[in-house]
């Protein structure tokens, strides 16, 4: 297992959306994202795609805990999401737990919650472990 990886989030989608990783262990990865007009769809609600970005961020970042980051990369292979509740302001938190850690794939269960721990979105993300290119 690799050491914890430090991520430079400047000039990335994490910086753009205000995503902050707040917990980073092999058992659980969590991140927060403010719900502001920047991530709204035209009717003033959080865009479902923003939930998906948050979920894949948790899965991708967490997968680096299981690979050799000097020779491998963790990249999104598949993601699905069920949007269960709308949100127009405040902060959401994504909590991801690995459900399968293999040599070539890592599967995550991610729950996006509001401040009252109500389920906003549930997602499953499969990460592919690929060789790093020079």
Catalytic residues: 56
Give CA–CA dist 133/29, Å, rounded. Answer: 26
Measured CA to CA in angstroms, residue 109 lies from 3, 75, 120, 127 at distances of: 22, 16, 14, 11
Per DSSP bridges, beta strands 105-113 and 119-131 are antiparallel
- Residues with Cβ within 8 Å of residue 131, at least 6 apart in sequence: 71, 72, 73
52 three-class SS: helix
Give CA–CA dist 128/104, Å, rounded. Answer: 6
For residue 122, the Cα-to-chain-centroid distance in whole angstroms is 11
């Amino acid at each position: 297992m690799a050491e914890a990886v430090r991520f430079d989030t400047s000039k990335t989608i994490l910086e753009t959306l205000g995503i902050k990783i707040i917990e980073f262990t092999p058992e659980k990865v969590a991140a927060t994202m403010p719900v502001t007009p920047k991530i709204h769809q035209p009717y003033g609600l959080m865009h479902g795609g923003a939930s998906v970005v948050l979920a894949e961020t948790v899965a991708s970042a967490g997968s680096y805990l299981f690979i050799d980051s000097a020779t491998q990369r963790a990249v999104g292979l598949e993601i699905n999401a069920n949007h269960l509740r709308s949100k127009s302001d405040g902060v959401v938190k994504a909590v991801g737990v690995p459900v399968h850690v293999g040599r070539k794939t890592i599967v995550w269960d991610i729950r996006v919650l509001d401040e009252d721990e109500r389920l906003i979105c549930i997602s499953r993300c499969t990460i592919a472990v690929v060789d790093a290119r020079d």
